[in-house]
Amino acid sequence: MRITCIAFALVLAATAQGAAVPNSHVVHEKRESPPSKWVKREKISSSYVLPMRIGLKQRNLDRGHSFLMDVSHPDSPNYAKHWTPEEVIEMFSPTEKTVDAVKEWLIDFGINSDRITHSDNQGWIAFDATTEEAENLLHTEYHIYEHSSTGHVTPACDSYHVPKHIREHVDYITPGIRLLSATKRGGTRPPTKTLPGYFPWSEEGELATCDKAITPACKYALTKQKYPFGKPRSDNSLGIYEEGDYYAQEDLDLFFANFTPYIPHGTHPSPAFIDGAEAPTDTANAGGESDLDFELAYPLIYPQTITLYQTDDLYYATNLNVTSGSFNTLLDALDGSYCTYSAYGETGDDPNLDPVYPDPTPGGYKGKLQCGIYKPTNVISISYGGQESDLPAYYQQRQCNEFMKLGLQGHSIFFASGDDGVAGPPGDDSSNGCLGDNSTIFSPAWPNSCPWVTNVGATKVYPGRTVFEPESAVVDPEGQPYSIAFSSGGGFSNIYPQPDYQKAAVAAFFEKHNPPYPYYEGNSSFGANGGIYNRIGRGYPDVAANGDNIATYNQGNYSSSGGTSASTPIFASIVNRINELRLNTGKNPIGFMNPALYSNPWMLNDITNGTNPGCGTVGFSAVPGWDPVTGLGTPNYPKMLAFFLTLP
């Protein structure tokens, strides 16, 4: 009885301005404990207008896995027979019953039907509401949350309620409990060594020093391909994503002049600018990430072209106190069906996290959110991300479903696996970037843990060795004493179980190379018995590529760069090349490639040395077979090409 009284008192306090939550309502989402990096500030004034979005439960998502395997498993008779965008919308849109139930709830509450809009993809219901209305509808209270280091502010609540009979129809509601900021993976480090004289360009000279500087000649040798001489195909541009980081043409030209004289001065990516983004910038402001990505990819794919998906206007993309990139504006632009609105004059898809257009700041983008304006390229390379713990599982699963849909349509999405090993970035969740009361639990990365993307970890050439000898994961505790620049991201998801395509590989890892750490099984037993990783979660990365001591030009100077930011465009470029040759023979692009990789690991160079430290441990170990440090290994272009050309 006592317990009941206390609970009742708390409920009254939480809805002090209104009535207690009626029996007909239940909690839909609730924050368990405040994320350490966000500070709850003042209550939002009752007249402030919030753009409310209700994500509706879609149909057939449980069948997404088998649909995707049907078009991407090499043994399937339907291999590479990808779906059209219309087929995807039709298969997954919510039932009419769901749409009607949610609309009826809103109208009964007093939100007139002319205030309610339903998105093109059928997935969202949207309306503007005063904070007071939203609070009464959801039996909650909205506060300002402020990010303690970046100053981002965002409206959010600690929990909210919906009628019992509505719960099954709703994925999640925004503004709601979510708080999020995404960060770049890597980028340029200060030069650690000066470049020996490579002028003019000489393949032999470079190959002798790949342990000190990875130049294009080193990349050709590592992946066993010659520089490409194909014919550009308009249907095979390589997609590269950037946010808040901009290339400078002068840097690309310096790079071409010094390393790849066969790439003409002035070669640059085709713009696919989203929501007011612009590029390039001037040399003094050139970003390490963008320069690195283009300088790595061009030598591997030229004369194929690159498409630059630069997202969000300068204010949103670079002002740290507004919400920043979470891939939704990219996905909106690539797939109109993902967008909340285009035809109804509504703006953004998530006002908590994503930019809201038109941007009122001087010089901000004055147009509307751009939906479905670009046909996605066959391959997209993304060297940005965050941690699973940054945001609710609902949000991530919804975005993950979109990656599944892009896979069904034949697109390969590559994500950098992160540069903090088994941890998150320091300061994210805790000072060491780890989870749990004592900051000992490994922190899986987002959106990497989504089973429908391909994650790329990073390797290095051993000091004193050549590109013709096996590489190591970037951190090699037994190797020579040199600085640990970064630790290749890897581990096991707390959200997604192991997909079938990797089950045998992960089981073999545990059986033959059991890590010396306690574990838990399923996030419902998070941290139980001192466990520090989820033994049954989706393992990542899937593959790896070189990512250390990368020769770049940035801000007019030679510098050494690295990270999984570097390995990802390398792997993506290799796949882009294979697609080119498949297209040349009348075949479709590869699309989602994990099932083919896991069932044919022989086409990758297995990496068996090195670790990915974090959370006060040495992390996991690279071992023969798949491992959560370097995945299945690095690309061997001739073997991969031969295999994918045998597939239909």
Ligand X SMILES: *[C@@H]1O[C@H](CO)[C@@H](O)[C@H](O)[C@H]1NC(C)=O
Nearest CA among 309, 349, 338 for reference residue 402:
338
| 408: phi then psi, degrees, rounded to nearest 5 | -60, -30
Q: Do the Cβ atoms of 614 and 417 come closer than 8 Å?
A: no
Q: Is 607 annotated as a binding residue?
A: yes
Considering only 13-21, 405-413, 430-438, 589-597, which stretch makes contact with ligand X by CB under 6 A? 430-438
User: Per CB under 6 A, does 400 bind ligand X?
Assistant: no
- Rule CB under 6 A: say whether 230 interacts with ligand X: no
Residue 420, marked binder: no
Name the pairing type of β-strands 412-416 and 379-382: parallel
- Could you say whether residue 140 binds ligand X (CB under 6 A)? no
Shortest distance, position 470 Cβ to ligand X, whole Å: 4
For ligand X, the closer of residues 523 and 600 by Cβ is: 523
Task: With H, G, I as helix, E, B as strand and everything else as coil, classify residue 642.
Answer: helix
> Measured from the CB atom, is 239 or 288 closer to ligand X?
288
Q: How far is the CB of 112 from ligand X (least distance, A)?
A: 31
> Is 627 known as a binding-site position?
yes
* One residue of 205, 479, 518, 601 binding ligand X per CB under 6 A: 479
Beta carbon of residue 527, minimum distance to ligand X (angstroms, whole number) = 5
DSSP string, 101-137: HHHHHHHHHT--GGG-EE-TTS-EEEEEEEHHHHHHH
Could you write out the DSSP letters of every residue in 186-240? -EEPPP-SPPP---S--HHHHHTTTTT-B-HHHHHHHHT-PPP-----TT-PEEE
CB of 243 to ligand X, least distance (A): 18
Active site residues: 289, 293, 565
Q: Is 283 in the site for ligand X (CB under 6 A)?
A: no
Q: Which is nearer to ligand X, 307 or 472 (CB)?
A: 472
Least Cβ distance, residue 319 to ligand X (angstroms)? 6
Q: Does 393 bind ligand X (CB under 6 A)?
A: yes
- Tell me the closest approach of the beta carbon of residue 609 to ligand X, in angstroms: 4
- What is the C-alpha separation between 145 and 182, in angstroms, rounded? 16
Q: Of these, 86, 114, 478, 511, which contacts ligand X (CB under 6 A)?
A: 478
The interface with ligand X within residues 601-620 (CB under 6 A) comprises 608-609
437 binds ligand X (CB under 6 A): yes
Q: Does residue 285 bind ligand X (CB under 6 A)?
A: no
φ/ψ (deg, to 5) at 194? -90, 150
Q: Tell me the CA distances in angstroms from 118 to 59, 121, 161, 605, one per residue in order.
A: 16, 8, 21, 49
> What ranges make up the beta strands (E) of 244-389?
270-271, 306-311, 379-382, 384-387
What three-state secondary structure class fits 557?
strand
Name the residue among 532, 534, 536, 538 with its Cα closest to residue 517: 532
Q: How far apart are CA 107 and CA 46, in angstroms?
A: 20
Query: What ranges make up the beta strands (E) of 330-439?
Result: 379-382, 384-387, 412-416
By CB under 6 A, the residues from 519 to 558 that bind ligand X are: 523, 526-527, 530, 555-557
Q: Is 171 annotated as a binding residue?
A: no
| Residue among 151 and 648 whose Cβ is closer to ligand X | 151
Q: Is 432 in the site for ligand X (CB under 6 A)?
A: no
Q: Which residues contact 57 (CB under 8 A, 6 or more apart)?
A: 94, 98, 168, 169, 170, 171
Site for ligand X in 150-189 (CB under 6 A): 153
Stretch that binds ligand X, among 35-43, 247-255, 315-323, 618-626 (CB under 6 A): 315-323
* Residue 271 vs 527, nearer CB to ligand X: 527
Q: Please state the length of the chain.
A: 648
> Which of residues 5, 32, 197, 360 is near ligand X by CB under 6 A?
32
Conformation bin of residue 146: beta by default, left when phi > 0, alpha when psi is -120 to 50: beta
Question: Considering the complex, what minimum distance in angstroms separates the CB of residue 106 from ligand X?
Answer: 28
Count the residues of the shown chain that bind ligand X, applying the rule CB under 6 A. 24
**Tokens read off for 501:** 């395509």
By CB under 6 A, tell whether 497 contacts ligand X: no
Binding annotation for Ca(2+): 606-607, 625, 627
User: What residues line the site for ligand X (CB under 6 A)?
Assistant: 32, 153, 319, 321-322, 388, 393, 436-438, 470, 478-479, 494-495, 523, 526-527, 530, 555-557, 608-609
Binding annotation: 606-607, 625, 627
